[in-house]
Amino acid sequence: MNKLDWQHCLCHRFGSLGLFGSSSSGEEPKRRRPRDSESHERPWKKRKRRQLPHPTPCRAAYRWFRLDWMASGGGIARARLAEERKAWRKNHPHGFVAKPETLLDGSVNLMVWRCIIPGKEGTDWEGGYFPLTMQFTEDYPTNAPSCKFPSGFFHINVYDSGAVCLSILSTAWKPSITVRQILIGIQELFDDPNPNSAAQNISFELYTKNKEEYRKRVRQQAKKYPSAL
């Protein structure tokens, strides 16, 4: 077999593999991928880089507000109080008021809440809308807030300074207790005081020895704090 016959035979047998140009069947030989060393451009490997959305002014401002908030001790206490405020605005008991203090510059101080507790209907406290200040600390809700009426508030379980003496604000405190539960608990305390934990001598003496005079003083106090509406 001469040289031309050998070339014809090899082309016939291996032409389909693309080693000797076109095959005998006339099909176009397959092209192999270039190696990395042969070409740095690999279009099948290129991926379109996803462009992140450019932050809007509102998003950017909120991000910096959050960073400044956390840096100034914002943390858990303010996050919890923000949720409390949202829940209260969505649903709260009739006649009650609870909202963070508004400062002179228009900003909101979540650590101090101005509240109003109405007296229950059918009791000597009815008709009164009693102002209360709730003061929170940075370790809230691990520790309970302090709750104060105006100084000299007449009640067995209220100190002369106005501080409320209530179990859920001290020994019975739990981090799960909400602002709503605190205010309702204080309202219940109005007409159902605890003489065993007296914080005020005058009201205690009247309650235990002259109940009628005690009730009279309560009604007088209710008239002192009428509804603001």
Q: Give the amino acid at 20.
A: F
Assigned token pair, 144: 């309970």
Q: Which residue has the tokens 């009247």?
A: 206
Q: Which residue has the tokens 């109080």?
A: 81
Active site residues: 165
Residue 184 phi, psi dihedral angles, 5° rounding = -65, -40
Assigned token pair, 36: 């990395």
**DSSP assignment of 11-72:** HHHHGGGTSSSS-TT-PPPPPPPPPTTT-S--TTT--PPPPPPPPPHHHHHHHHHHHHHHHT
Distance in angstroms (rounded) separating the CA atoms of residues 183 and 188 = 9
Q: Give the amino acid at 165.
A: C
Answer whether 97's CB lies under 8 Å from 85's CB: no
- Residue 128: how many CB atoms within 10 A of its CB? 23
